[in-house]
Amino acid sequence: MSINKDCILSNWKKRLKLLQWLVLCFFIIVILRLFHLQVVKGEFYEIRAENNRLEIESIPAPRGVIYDRKGRILATNRPCFCLLFYPQKLPHKKDILESYASFLSPILKKSPSETMFMLKKSLVYPIRPIYLKKDLTWEEVTTLEASHYFFSALKIHVTPLRFYPHRSLACHLLGYVSLISAEQLKSMPEAEPIDFIGKMGIEKLFQSALAGKKGKRFLEVDALGHTRRVLKETLPISGNNLYLTLDAKLQAYAEQLLKGKTGVIVALVPQTGEVLTLASNPGFDPNLFVNGMDKKTWQKLKNNPQNPLQNRATCGLYPAGSILKIVTALAALENKVISAHTKINCPGKFVFGDRVFRCWKKSGHGMLDVKRAIIQSCDVFFYQLGAWLGIETLADYAKQCGFGQYSGIGIEEASGHVPTSTHKWPKGEALNMAIGQGSFLTTPLQIAQFFAALANGGNIYGPQILLKMLSPQGKIMKKGEIKINSKLPISTYNLKLIKEALVGVMNDPRGTGYNARSHRVVIAGKTGTAQVISLPQKKLSKLPVSHRDHAWFAGFAPAKRPQIVVVVLIEHGGHGGATAAPIATKLIEAYLDENN
Amino acid sequence: MKITRFFLTTSGQMLFVLITLVSIGLLNLYSATYYLGPKAILFKKQIFWTGLGFITLWIFSSIEYHKLRIYAYHIYTIIVLLLFALLFIAPSLSGTKRWFTLGPISIQPSELAKIVFIITIAHYLSETKLESQTLKVFLKTLILTVIPVFLVVLEPDLGTAVILLILFGSMCVLSKVSNKILLVVGGLALAFLPFIWKFMLKDYQRARILGFLFPHKDPLGVGYHVLQSKTAIGSGRLWGKGFLKGTQSQLHFLPEHYTDFVFSVFAEQWGFIGCVILLTLYLLLILMGIRIAQRANHPFAFLLAGGITALFFWQVFINIAMTLGLLPVVGVPLPFMSYGGSAMLVNFIAVGILINIDIKNWRK
């Protein structure tokens, strides 16, 4: 028995060696693995551990406030409770998603299935937080806060949201902010998907100055996304405040005058090029872009044939009509094609080759010098000048007067179109251009720029919209600069002559703007009536009023010492003297009343 | 003098290793739970269990271990009945029925089953008095194994079931079940794997294994545990982040960090150096167990010591390999490190029996 037992034991114990080797092997495997994880890849895991526990939350910086020249607020911020959703914090489990959906659906006022669909969509870009709702009520905030522990992927942010208190006032100039797009996000390394950035106008032009610097909060978080403590915090720096050259009161009045019409009013300070008014109607409410709009509203805005999003003052391209006769007269005088006393007979039509060009007054104006021709806006007189000057000279002078090139205002603008000499034009084109028809196109701002130069003695100023930029502490960061783009190619004598003619337009009984004259101030100006038939805007031509002409007026006042330049354009307004000029007179009177 | 001499013996050294391991374990548990607030009570509980453990160690090292043979089947029956009863009366804690709660303490019969199982199998196999076990003996042992395994799987406690099966295998190897049988049974087990996969495992268990095989597929899902554990361990680098300086474990990034993933907590704080020291301690414990088995003068003592050593070895290996992402996640505790009263007691009993056998060996 005993021998048997020992025999059994010694036999069994042989297998113990096997176990021992197995143990050693496995320990070596474990140690090698540990070495691999901790020493070879240690740094990699250390970084990962660090990322696990650190969360950087940015604190939005209040955007700079935009004021008008007298300190009236045009764009500011309002605190807003926003509900943000961080998809990356949501475990990919169906039941959890469902619990989120059922929790959120009453707050979002959507059905659970719709909410579910929305949440699922957001999971496609897991690192991109989205705004679920803005402007939470107190009740909603408390509901959300109370359940925060269970729904850690939801976060309430108190965000300063852009607010335009006067709604559509100067909307085209101010522009708007809206959520950053995916493409912009790629090009801006600092930006986050929940940032608002300027998409148009001043907001876009001064985006970096207005935006300020975001603050950062370094949080220690656990795996459930709950904040344990704040490690570090840097406070946000507000954006710079802007004071525009705009006169909000005048702008509001201009927009009121445009009500019900499609058109533009531009007003500049002739001596500096400061923009006082830049009204374009119809407009839009920029708050819509901040708060987000439903699809229907957006479609309505986008597909509106009147195109309310377009800034007609800087981007709208129009034939200048009779306004351009000033350029033609200027070119002819400077080129010595005519003198101040050269008289041309207007029989009501002008025969050029085998074509007949008609004057707007069928009976004709009779013998006219250049001054009278401007006052009565005689077409035949300027056909003759066009024929004498030729398209190239005319185009050259138009360019020297600032047409066909960007004014440099900074916001969106079109350059307009001046027929160039490289192109082979039919002979009649010079005649068309001489009266502001044909392929020549301008923006209302360019007209204003040109008239400002006439008013101030020949300096073409780049339009200026920034008066000053102040840091949040009130330090002046930047001042508006007067910028001379070029000089009008005109002698003092000829300029005086043209100015006299412009005064005559408004004050001579036979002047085209006589009916719109002011009894309080001497206005100098020029009316214009631009034919629409050659307009490229086909959509508009479907409208019943579409065949009516565009009504123009450009002028300045007081004529002796100009304080304001005004350009009015009413699309399909008919006759410039009847439609556009009275509006300009009202605006000029209002401005001078206010400022004298 | 007597004490000095005692510490020169294997059991003396074993006691030294044990005390070191238990101290490390307590410190580590403290670091894993101190910030939990109300859960810091876990640390105090563990101290209580450790104290109780040393008493049981003293009891089991001084009794006549042959008495265990006499009562082997009785305690086996009791534990099987307990496991059976557990399925009906235990409260369901997160879908599992593992504990009996008696006031402030709860007992986990499946842990106790491990040591009872070793004693029973050692007794049964040493009673055969065969040099090499026959198929009949093997099948009977298998039946003794399958009953508790089946009950444990129903709880469900996959970890314990795996440990019991591996212990069964280890003890069969040690008691010289012929190679033929082992190979055939191994082959059959492999053939049955798909069947087990389909019918025996629960969804979350299947998911765990899938998560192990493809951890990057679903980093926030099942593979999450392993990924976080690896991050914790790896971020410890060579020297560790220092005591109480672990960030992964303390900020809940590590799930189950005071039970199954307690090694990750340790590795994060003490780095590669600390891990090597800890592993060396475990290795010493296991090698000493092997030495005690080697010196055993009775087949029962041999199988008992061998089985207990195998228990320590497999638990240490499976647990650490799991935290390192080398094995799928199964609930196997790390001896003397993981929180758990029953496991603590069982480990102390096991060491007590080893010391008991050792003392009997050198008294002869």
* Mean pLDDT calculated for residue range B148-170: 89
What b/e readout covers A468-504, taking b as 16+ CB neighbours within 10 angstroms?
bbbbeeeeeeeebeeeebbebbbeeebbebbbebbbb
Closest CA to A473 of A242, A241, A244: A241
Q: Tell me which of A122, A168, A238, A322 is the catalytic residue.
A: A322
Q: Could you read off the pLDDT of A137-185 as tens digits, one per residue?
A: 888 888 888 887 778 788 888 888 999 999 999 999 999 999 888 888 7
- Give the number of other CB atoms < 10 A from CB of residue A210: 27
Write out pLDDT tens, residues A229-287: 777 788 999 999 999 999 999 999 999 999 999 999 999 999 999 999 999 989 999 99
Band the pLDDT of B217: cuts 50, 70, 90. low
Q: How far is CA A487 from CA A399, A450, A455, A548, A564, in A?
A: 11, 10, 12, 35, 19
B251, B290, B314: best to mutate for the A interface, most A CBs within 10 A: B251
What type of residue sits at position A110? K
In CATH, which of 3.40.710.10, 3.10.20.740, 3.40.190.10, 3.40.50.10420 is domain A248-288+312-595?
Answer: 3.40.710.10
Name the pTM for this structure. 0.65
- From B92, B57, B31, select the one nearest B350 (Cα to Cα): B57
Distances (CA, A) of B53 to A243, A306, B166, B358: 79, 88, 25, 19
Interatomic CA distance for residues A544 and A367, integer angstroms = 38
Task: Check B324 against A26: CB less than 8 A apart.
Answer: no
Q: What integer pLDDT is reported at residue A589 of this predicted model?
A: 94
Is A19 close to B170, i.e. CB distance below 8 A? yes
pLDDT band at B219 (very low <50, low <70, confident <90, very high): very low
Boundaries of every domain in chain A: 55-89+129-244, 248-288+312-595
Dig out the tokens for B356 from the structure.
Answer: 């008991």
Q: Which residues from B are below 8 Å from A16, CB to CB?
A: 174, 290, 293-294, 306
Nearest chain A residue to B281, by CA:
A27
Note the pLDDT tens digit of each residue in B1-15.
677 777 778 888 999
Q: Which residue, B334, B347, B331, is CA-closest to B289?
A: B347
Is the CB of residue B272 less than 8 Å from the CB of residue B305? no
Q: Read off the tokens for B124.
A: 């049964």
Q: Give the DSSP H/E element, type plus range, for residue A193.
A: none
Band the pLDDT of A52: cuts 50, 70, 90. Answer: confident
**pLDDT confidence of residue B259:** 85
What Rg do the C-alpha atoms of chain B give, in angstroms? 20
CA atoms within 13 A on the CB side of A298: 7
pLDDT at A226 (0 to 100): 73
Assigned CATH topology for domain A55-89+129-244: Penicillin-binding protein 2a (Domain 2) (3.90.1310)
Q: Which residues of B fall within a CB distance of 8 Å from A13?
A: 293-294, 302
pLDDT, greater one: B87 or A406: A406
Tokens of A286: 């920029």
Q: What is the spatial distance between Cα A149 and Cα A155, in angstroms, rounded to a whole number?
A: 11
| Closest-CA residue to B335 (of B7, B34, B109, B24) | B24
More confident residue, A304 or B132: A304
pLDDT in tens, A435-474: 988 889 999 999 999 999 999 999 999 999 999 999 999 8
- pLDDT class of A533 with cuts at 50, 70, 90: low
Tokens of A280: 């374009």
* Average pLDDT along chain A: 87
A486 has catalytic annotation: no
CB contact under 8 Å between A31 and B279, yes or no, is yes
Question: Rounded to a whole number, what is the distance in Å from the CA of B177 to chain A's nearest CA?
Answer: 10
The β-bridge relationship of strands A66-67 and A241-244 is parallel
Q: Using an 8 Å CB-CB cutoff, list chain A residues near B129.
A: 4-5, 8
Categorize the per-residue pLDDT at B196 as very low, low, confident or very high, splitting at 50, 70 and 90. confident
The pLDDT value given to residue B90: 62
Alpha-helical (H) ranges within chain B are 2-8, 10-33, 41-62, 66-89, 109-127, 135-154, 158-174, 179-195, 203-213, 223-235, 262-295, 299-323, 341-363
CA of A88 vs chain B CAs: smallest distance (Å): 10
Rounded to the nearest angstrom, the minimum Cα separation between B81 and chain A is 32
Cβ(B119)–Cβ(B305) below 8 Å: no
Are A37 and B233 an interchain contact pair (Cβ–Cβ within 8 Å)?
yes
Q: Exposed, middle or buried, A542 (CB in 10 Å: 0-12/13-18/19+)?
A: exposed
CB contact under 8 A, A38 and B275: yes
Q: What is the pLDDT of residue A36?
A: 93
Instruction: Name which of A7, A16, A90, A93 to mutate to probe chain B: the one with the most chain B Cβ atoms within 10 A of its Cβ.
Output: A16
How high is the ipTM of this complex? 0.91
pLDDT at B64: 85
| Res A422 pLDDT > 80 | no
**Per-residue pLDDT tens over the stretch B234-289:** 988 899 888 888 777 665 666 677 888 899 999 999 999 999 999 999 999 999 99
pLDDT digits (tens, 9 = 90+) for B76-97: 999 999 888 888 876 655 556 6
Q: Where are the alpha helices (DSSP H) in A541-595?
A: 581-595
Q: What letters, b where the CB count within 10 A reaches 16 and e where it falls short, cover B182-218?
A: eeebeeeeeeeeeeeeeebbeeebebbbbbbeebeeb
